[in-house]
Amino acid sequence: MTTLRDYSQGAAFVRGQYVPIGEAAIPITDWGFLRSDAAYDVVTVWDGSFFRLDAHLDRFARSCARFRLDPGLAPAQITSVLAQCVRLSGLQSAYVEMVTTRGQPPWGSRDPRLAVNQFCAFAVPYVWIANAEQREKGLNLIVSRVQRIPATSVDPRAKNYHWNDLTMGLLGALDAGGDTVVLTDSAGHAVEGPGFNLFCVNAQGVLVTPQDGVLEGITRRTVIEIAQARGLPLQLRALPAGELRGAREVFVTSSAGGVLPVTRVDGVPVGSGAPGPITRQLGQTYWDWHRDPRYSLAVDSVPAVDVPDAVAAGA
């Protein structure tokens, strides 16, 4: 008797097989687990369509190249795998992750060049990094003294799992009564937080987002493009923590939520203490762009593409 598998909580592609998310696993000796030696990216599905999938695939390829990892799949093949994960799950709104791990070199070897890289992917229900009340009323953002890992050590433009600095900063922020955290660099500039980029409308009415030491987020890129299309004054540069604290508006951007308002920084109200007009305008346009065919790809329109035998076998 055949037992139907339950994909309702999500679906994964691991070692060439599609499995329910609760059954997905990698070997405990994979350096992706042991050493955070991996590259990944996350694309979202909204109302049955991927949003800016091409941009995420491009960034995933750059991240893999930066860390000398090879997923073993062409973009069309990765797209097919991601779409099948979403289709199996039946989700209309999903958080879809693609990952390449280092794998494991021959036992006892410390030479990463000898490892066979592994590709996996999964789709789970859409993830919000802020709850409904926070999305409506705004977040309390804590500026942490924890410094972000410098780009000379780990390139933040390559999406990675080196999150201990972000995790320690977040723990401190939560302990202090905040909702989330932004880390600083060695010069005291605000850079980024756990899973999001940072923007502010400063005292002069200029939209500012940090340029260096950050992941170049796809949502960040979208907001920059929206601001440019609307003719808003915009600067990509270092953002001193003092300028952030004195801003008229503050918001963060993430695929896991879009444009999320910040109405307190270190517990002190930002501007009027309510989400500002530019924040709301950019947020509304961001979701409107999800219906724009230039940026959306219907999951059901993605054809099935063969996966190479070597990848399917987890070689």
| Mean pLDDT score across all residues of the chain | 95
pLDDT for 12 beyond 80: yes
Q: What is the pLDDT averaged over residues 114-132? A: 97
Per-residue pLDDT tens digits for 258-302: 999 999 999 999 999 999 999 999 999 999 999 999 999 999 999
When pLDDT is averaged across residues 107-128 and rounded to a whole number, the result is 96
Work out the pLDDT band at 308, boundaries 50, 70, 90: confident
Query: What long-range pairs does 153-159 form, CB within 8 A, spacing at least 24?
Result: 155/66, 156/192, 156/213, 156/214, 156/215, 157/62, 157/63, 157/66, 157/214, 157/215, 157/216, 158/39, 158/62, 158/63, 158/66, 158/67, 159/39, 159/40, 159/41, 159/42, 159/59, 159/60, 159/63, 159/215
pLDDT of amino acid 309 = 58
CA-closest candidate to residue 192, choices 204, 184, 200, 180: 184
In whole angstroms, what is the distance from residue 95 CA to residue 82 CA?
10
CATH 3.30.470.10 fits 11-126+296-312, yes or no: yes
Q: Is the pLDDT of residue 314 over 70?
A: no
pLDDT band at 2 (very low <50, low <70, confident <90, very high): low
Residue 310 has pLDDT above 70, yes or no: no
For domain 132-275, say whether CATH 3.20.10.10 is its number: yes
- Answer whether residue 116 shows pLDDT above 50: yes
pLDDT at residue number 313: 43
The rounded percent of the chain whose pLDDT value lies above 90 is: 95
Give the start-to-end residue ranges of the domains of the chain.
11-126+296-312, 132-275
User: Residue 307: what pLDDT?
Assistant: 84
- CB within 8 Å of 266: residues ≥ 6 apart: 141, 142, 143, 178, 245
